[in-house]
Structure 1
Amino acid sequence: MNPTHCQALPPVSYIERSEYMTFDVTPQLPSNDITVAELFAGGGLMAVGLRAAGYNLVWANDFDKNAVKAYRHNLGDHIVHGDITAIDPADIPDTDVIAGGPPCQDYSVAGTGAGENGERGKLVWAYLRIIEAKRPKAFIFENVKGLITKKHRPTFDALLAKFEEIGYRVSWRLINAWDYGVAQKRERVFIVGIRADLGFAFEFPEPRPEDYRTQVLRDVIGDLPEPSDTCGKNVKKVERVADMNEPGPTVTTQFRCQTVEITNHTGGVPAKEYPGHTASALDEPAKAIVAGVHGVPGGANCFYPPNHVQTRATTVKPRQRLSNQRGYVADMDGPGRTVNTCRLDHAEIHPQAPRRFTVRECLRIQSVPDWYVLPDDLSLSAQYRIVGNGVASRVAYLLGIALAEQLRSSVIGERLRTEVSA
């Protein structure tokens, strides 16, 4: 398919068009009868992976009303909007597993650095409080790599010790999503705790040979048509250009963008006008553009996936750039860096057109299946934030499969031991 033109399809309804949305690296498995509650659920990207792995999603919570709306739109009404610190554990149903990752900004290298003293950093202890009160068979905890850096390692070690103290055997690993079949270099810390009375510690699954650093951008977004155009103007300036030969850069949550106006480029764009290192820092965010299909070339005969709409950012005053802020050209056929959402010092653009990744492309780079759709009435910045805050769905899927197998083996083993002793 020519990437500079839309994909011509027969005139069909929106629902019928869904048959063309086939990306799914988390194929649905049969139910494993394991129930899960999720804290800090966000838009449900981790839940997508766990549900596909066979888990029964019973309850979820998040403080962000937009994330809750996205979760409810895709996964059901069992999510509760509210502050987890104000929720009585008695109001949370008993489940086999509790999953989730507290907000990471205070531990992120690119964040505040406040650690556990930050308002968000303190939420790791709220997570622990719920685990101690509910005592599930297992829990899955996710956070940024910064949690194990020298600055925050005391907090991390104290957290592990507390989990052990309340009766859990914990295992942890720094996981790069690219190692597990995700087209993105995204490193995150995962802690899996198993209640001590179950008699085993979780063993992380090793990357499969067919998954290990094999997925690149071309594999996950190469089939998408150029997005519909909502502004009809050419790009003037751009941030980093992604490379379709590489995994995507880690999806993050910022929406502060460089001066850019975007077109669908159906007539082609001279490459010399869009060098890869022309990023200019800005001190204002782009205007929020509502996602939707507008100005679609070809009308009803042209298919544009949900959340795959092109927008423009307005011109704003540049601000002083840091020495490490550079434009970046990604490669379609190689590993990409962590996908960013047009953040000032990391924003990237699509390797085949002078524009940033659409929300749909970011979802795919996060290994989220195409059936997941962010509501049109969420602002573009909210959509990017939801995607950037999420756990790569395929990573959650593979961890979920491994955990279910190990829990099942433990239960079977215990049953056999009981029968033998009797």
Structure 2
Amino acid sequence: MKYRLGELFCGPGGLAYGAMTADIGNGDKIVHAWANDFDQDTVDTYIHNICPDAPETVYCADVRKFDLTQLGPIDALAFGFPCNDFSVVGEQKGFDGEYGPLYTYGVKALKIYKPKWFLAENVGGIKSANEGKAFKKILHDMKAAGYTIVPNLYKFEEYGVPQARHRVIIVGIRNDLADKYQYKVPSTEPYKDVDNTSRNAIENPPIPANAPNNEMPRQTKRVKERLSYIKPGQNAFTADIPEELQLHVKGAKISQIYRRLDPNKPAYTVTGSGGGGTHMYHWSEPRALTNRERARLQTFPDDYVFMGSKESVRKQIGMAVPSRGARIIFEAILKTFAGIDYPSQEAHL
């Protein structure tokens, strides 16, 4: 069985790569049908890695001005709808923000194409936006589109991903199929002995000298000096730094600023936003991580090429879903429809 996958807000292809590499040993596959994103570099990255022979199937357009009815039939839909207004780090405007209502286009696509199943992804903070009303409304609208849903907060580091990344993922199965096919959250138990430390992810195996997107960042003498006082796991505010190198930031002290990785733990969350001081820092070398190192923390293979400027690539990597984590969930969906049992656990939010 081949499941044709459509994607809205596709990003650089973390979900898609997880879907395309999902393999449950019986020949069932998820194949690309079409995708949409509004950023040209991101679309170029997606085409290059996911569907180089079918560039016309990826549409660069603002979904708010895009004709959703022009796309081909699909068996599955994925949409990691923009999280800016649901993030704990952001202002959490929820439905009142510019990006809040964008999930409705995913719901609209469900109504148009009626796929057998869908996967929707967002940040953990979505649960508390608008005093929790936003999340309830989103779940209500997905159910009203004709789907039986299983929302869950996935802590990807518990699935062997070398990064503490917590995301709400909602899997929905069309109501007429839901009696026979009941998705269950895959268990974290098979991954408890996986080495998910940032050191293992970045050093094993060594990144090839010719790997794409691996340009070394340039650090000023002052930044290098500041980093010399910051130990692994510390940031600019928890380290013992001389007065002349301290940051004098008004308001909240963000824990990610000049924060060095702890090599013996999963990395903290890779993000795409923010300026200097938020680029993630190596535990022993006085520098920010390269984009390829960040991509490894997001479990992209070294031959996955990101298109665009260094800054554009940094943003793309930060907004992606870790492909290995996505693959685990897609394999659970494939097993659900193939009637193959798998270790599972209770959903929790």
TM-score above 0.5: yes
How high is the sequence identity, in percent, across the aligned residues?
30
Q: Which runs of 5+ in 1 are unaligned?
A: 1-31, 242-272, 281-317, 411-422
Conservation of the 8 A alpha-carbon contact between 2:270 and 2:294: yes
Quote the offset at 1:274 in angstroms.
Answer: 4.3
Amino acid at match of 2:187: E
Equivalent of residue 401 in structure 1, options 319, 331, 338: 331
1:325-362: per-residue Cα shift (whole Å, max 9, x none)? 34433221223321345835754311121111111011
Q: Please state which structure has a larger fraction of its residues in helix.
A: 2
Distance 2:253 2:202 in 1: 28
Match of 1:367 in 2: 299
Equivalent of residue 222 in structure 2, options 236, 239, 242: 236
Query: Is residue 131 of structure 1 aligned with residue 110 of structure 2?
Result: yes
Match of 1:55 in 2: 30
Amino acid at match of 2:137: A
1:15-66: per-residue Cα shift (whole Å, max 9, x none)? xxxxxxxxxxxxxxxxx51110111001111111101113111100001111
CA RMSD of aligned residues (A): 2.6
1:178-220: per-residue Cα shift (whole Å, max 9, x none)? 0111000000000000001002432111124335664111221
Query: Is residue 177 of structure 1 aligned with residue 151 of structure 2?
Result: no
Match of 1:328 in 2: 259
Equivalent of residue 207 in structure 1, options 183, 188, 191: 188
Distance 2:338 2:216 in 1: 50
Change in Cα spacing, 1:210 to 1:107, as seen in structure 2 (3 Å) is: closer
Match of 2:280 in 1: 348
Amino acid at match of 2:84: Q
Query: Is residue 382 of structure 1 aligned with residue 322 of structure 2?
Result: no
Distance 2:116 2:192 in 1: 29
Distance 1:87 1:70 in 2: 20
Query: Is residue 391 of structure 1 aligned with residue 315 of structure 2?
Result: no
Q: Secondary structure at the match of 2:36?
A: strand
Q: Secondary structure at the match of 2:334?
A: helix
1:201-250: per-residue Cα shift (whole Å, max 9, x none)? 3211112433566411122111237966575x764215997xxxxxxxxx
Q: What is the correspondence of 1:18-417 to structure 2 with a 5 Å cutoff?
A: 32-53=1-22, 54-76=29-51, 77=55, 78-149=57-128, 151-198=130-177, 199=179, 200-211=181-192, 214-222=195-203, 223-224=206-207, 229=216, 235-237=221-223, 273-276=228-231, 279=236, 320-326=249-255, 327-340=258-271, 343=274, 346-375=278-307, 378-409=308-339
Change in Cα spacing, 1:219 to 1:35, as seen in structure 2 (3 Å) is: same
The range that moved more, 72-81 or 170-179, is: 72-81
Q: Following TM superposition, where does structure 1 have runs of at least 4 consecutive aligned residues deviating by more than 6 angstroms?
A: none
Conservation of the 8 A alpha-carbon contact between 1:184 and 1:338: yes
Larger Rg: 1
